Chains A and B, each alone.
Chain A
Amino acid sequence: MNYELICGLETHVELSTKTKIFCSCSTEFGGEPNTHCCPICIGLPGTLPKLNKAVVEYAVMAGLATNCEISPVSKMDRKNYVYPDLPKAYQISQYDMPLCKSGWVGLSNGRRIRLNRIHIEEDAGKLVHDRGNTFVDYNRGGVPLIEIVTEPDLRSIEEVQEYVEKLQMILRYIGVSDCKMQEGSLRCDVNVSVRPVGQEEFGTRAEIKNMNSLAYMAKAIAYEFDRQVDLIQSGEEVVQETRRFDEGSGCTEGMRGKEDADDYRYFREPDLVAILVSDEMRKSIQKQMPEDPQKRLTRFVSDFDLPEADARLLIEHRRIADYFETAAKGAKNPRAVANCILGQMFARLGTEAEKEQFEVAVTPEQLHELILLLDSGKIRMNLVKSTLEKMLDTGKPAKEFLSEQDLAGMSADDLKAVCEKAVAENEAAAADYLAGKEKALKAILGSVMKATRGRANPQEAEKLLADIIRR
């Protein structure tokens, strides 16, 4: 029998606000242990949390960018559990009235992955286990998180990966999180179940906790799929439980002592008041958001006549997209602008992080000027490339590297003289062309381009050559 994979994701994303969700301590990553702490975020009795406005705004932005309904009324709740990473023995989260509901994220195969909800909550501290002792650092405690919960709509490992990448792109784009999996600012819990193909009803699911790498996530899901299919085929049952992925062995294993873990005894947080998002507030948050990356992609393809693959690369990081747009606006050759960025500039940027920062010596305005020279026919693409290379080395504008002669182009008389010389030197090819071999002309054109160091306009030269030969 064939089995189908069913996945749902709960994604925790750290928001890039300056301060924590309920106190004014810094959210900066790293730092000496317990140096970004105050009585509120270490949970001392008698302290009162005060909600960071930016957290609500960022979460609403995330909701709007993923097609969610924004709840006009929501509230905070206490989720009770006892563990050293949580000094109050409860986490302030949202239970039955989350800030955002019923959204979706579209995949390239046309499927929409439905989002059940997005809610806000506080992150826990960081634990370092060493020989049975636990060292606790509360710098991360109280850092704002959004938890994005999908419906069980994902049907393959590829879909899971694309969904996470899409989410990263969207959230980075609107600037609410850097979504760095390796630093833990985006982490996923994956719910996995299997069912025979064609069956309507879902199987029992297992939840794999705290995945912070796409590669491990793929391995964990593949392992879990096989494990559950094996269980069912040998007549056993899948147990609903929380499992941990072991990076060394590539296996998932059940976590012990979690029998009461889901009994969180949620109740309303009495120290915080209701959150009301009016139409006005929602609209003003919407106004602060940049253009939706998906819409921008479509626009880049249609307005700038770019191949979709190129547009996708430009869109991935907002700085690059903004740079391209500034440089390409009003240019007749937007594709050349894209090629300069994706070719020569990307060649100088090794890592994704460098691309995201996109620190290049040439301003978009300088690139625009260079491309205008191409547009007006004053210089040709090969000269654009060599000039850009010098600009990237020095940060100086194009004019510094282009001589009068470079910019003068070629006069009609000069071009005619070069063409006549080329025909005279290539008699055999000229004869071939007259005999009907169209390709022979290209050989002569090649020597013209070489003689003019690429300054000749090939269309003009080709026409001129044909005239000369036929004469």
Chain B
Amino acid sequence: MVTHEEILKIARLAKLSVAPEELDSLTKDMNSIIEFADAVNSVAAEDSDFDNSNSLSNVFREDKVVPSYDREEILKNAPNQEDGYFLVRRRM
């Protein structure tokens, strides 16, 4: 069973803030997700230590340069930018 503390730790790692009133419902949701994963695990294939389930492998790209995007395009959606850089402002 997942505990409140674990939910808070995961939230901290993901830089999310969780209000105290959300904690119960989030914990319940997380438990049902893990139960589902456990159910999948219990019927997992036995004869392979590596589950290459999509049975695809070695999808490669050749090492050939394609021109990059214009910088304006790259920076277009940045909340802050300066001198061609993405700008992350000082955190409070």
Chain A residues proximal to chain B, CB less than 8 Å = 17-19, 24-26, 32-39, 42, 44, 50-56, 73, 75, 80, 82, 84, 97, 128, 131-138, 260, 263, 265, 272-276
A274–B13 contact, CB under 8 A?
Answer: no
B84–A33 contact, CB under 8 A?
Answer: yes
A134–B88 contact, CB under 8 A?
Answer: yes
Whether a CB of chain A sits under 8 angstroms from the CB of B44 is: no
A274–B86 contact, CB under 8 A?
Answer: no
Task: Among A38, A131, A274, point to the contact of B68 (Cβ < 8 A).
Answer: A38
Task: Among B59, B66, B84, B87, point to the contact of A134 (Cβ < 8 A).
Answer: B87
Chain A residues contacting B65 (CB-CB under 8 Å) are: 18-19, 24-26
B68–A135 contact, CB under 8 A?
Answer: no
Chain A residues contacting B50 (CB-CB under 8 Å) are: 73, 75, 97, 274
Chain B residues contacting A135 (CB-CB under 8 Å) are: 82-83, 85-88
Complex CA gap A33/B85 in Å reads 6
Q: How large is the interface on B (under 10, 10 to 19, 20 to 34, 35 or more residues)?
A: 20 to 34
Chain A residues contacting B84 (CB-CB under 8 Å) are: 32-35
Supply 7 A–B pairs (Cβ within 8 Å), ascending by A: A25-B66, A33-B71, A50-B61, A51-B60, A53-B61, A53-B62, A260-B12
A275–B64 contact, CB under 8 A?
Answer: no
Chain A residues contacting B45 (CB-CB under 8 Å) are: none
Complex CA gap A434/B11 in Å reads 100
Contact flags B49-92 to A (C-beta < 8 A → 1, else 0): 01010101111111111101101001101000011111111100
Chain B residues contacting A53 (CB-CB under 8 Å) are: 60-63
Closest 10 pairs between A and B when the two form their complex, measured CB to CB: A132-B90, A24-B66, A53-B60, A54-B63, A135-B85, A136-B86, A273-B56, A134-B88, A274-B57, A50-B61
Q: Which residue of B lies closest to A259 (CB)?
A: B12
Q: Which residue of A lies closest to B60 (CB)?
A: A53
Whether a CB of chain A sits under 8 angstroms from the CB of B39 is: no
Complex CA gap A19/B66 in Å reads 8
A273–B68 contact, CB under 8 A?
Answer: no
Complex CA gap A181/B14 in Å reads 33
- Chain A nearest CB from B10 CB (Å) reads 8
B61–A24 contact, CB under 8 A?
Answer: yes
Complex CA gap A162/B86 in Å reads 39
A25–B59 contact, CB under 8 A?
Answer: no
Q: Which residue of B lies closest to A27 (CB)?
A: B65
B66–A34 contact, CB under 8 A?
Answer: no
A sample of 11 more A-B contacts (CB under 8 A), given A25-B66, A128-B85, A263-B13, is A32-B84, A38-B69, A44-B77, A84-B86, A97-B50, A133-B88, A133-B89, A260-B12, A260-B13, A274-B58, A275-B58
Chain B residues contacting A51 (CB-CB under 8 Å) are: 59-61
- Given the interface pairs A19-B64, A25-B65, the reply to whether A276 lies near B58 with Cβ below 8 Å is yes
Chain B residues contacting A34 (CB-CB under 8 Å) are: 71, 74-75, 84-86
Interface of A is mostly: loop
Chain B residues contacting A42 (CB-CB under 8 Å) are: 74
Complex CA gap A51/B58 in Å reads 9
Chain B residues contacting A25 (CB-CB under 8 Å) are: 65-66, 68
A24–B59 contact, CB under 8 A?
Answer: no
A37–B88 contact, CB under 8 A?
Answer: no
A50–B59 contact, CB under 8 A?
Answer: yes
Task: Among B57, B59, B66, B90, point to the contact of A133 (Cβ < 8 A).
Answer: B90
Whether a CB of chain A sits under 8 angstroms from the CB of B9 is: yes
Complex CA gap A56/B62 in Å reads 11
Q: Which of B1-59 contact A (CB under 8 A)?
A: 9, 12-15, 50, 52, 54, 56-59
Chain B residues contacting A26 (CB-CB under 8 Å) are: 65, 68
Task: Among B59, B66, B83, point to the contact of A273 (Cβ < 8 A).
Answer: B59
Task: Among A36, A56, A75, point to the contact of B60 (Cβ < 8 A).
Answer: A56
Complex CA gap A35/B58 in Å reads 29
A136–B88 contact, CB under 8 A?
Answer: yes
Chain A residues contacting B89 (CB-CB under 8 Å) are: 132-133
A275–B68 contact, CB under 8 A?
Answer: no
Q: Which residue of B lies closest to A44 (CB)?
A: B77
- Chain B nearest CB from A23 CB (Å) reads 8
Chain A residues contacting B15 (CB-CB under 8 Å) are: 82
A35–B71 contact, CB under 8 A?
Answer: yes
B86–A138 contact, CB under 8 A?
Answer: yes
Chain A residues contacting B52 (CB-CB under 8 Å) are: 73, 273-274
Q: Which residue of B lies closest to A144 (CB)?
A: B63
Complex CA gap A25/B63 in Å reads 10
- Chain A nearest CB from B25 CB (Å) reads 22
Complex CA gap A80/B88 in Å reads 20
Complex CA gap A218/B88 in Å reads 34
Q: Which residue of B lies closest to A127 (CB)?
A: B88
A52–B61 contact, CB under 8 A?
Answer: yes
Chain A residues contacting B57 (CB-CB under 8 Å) are: 273-276
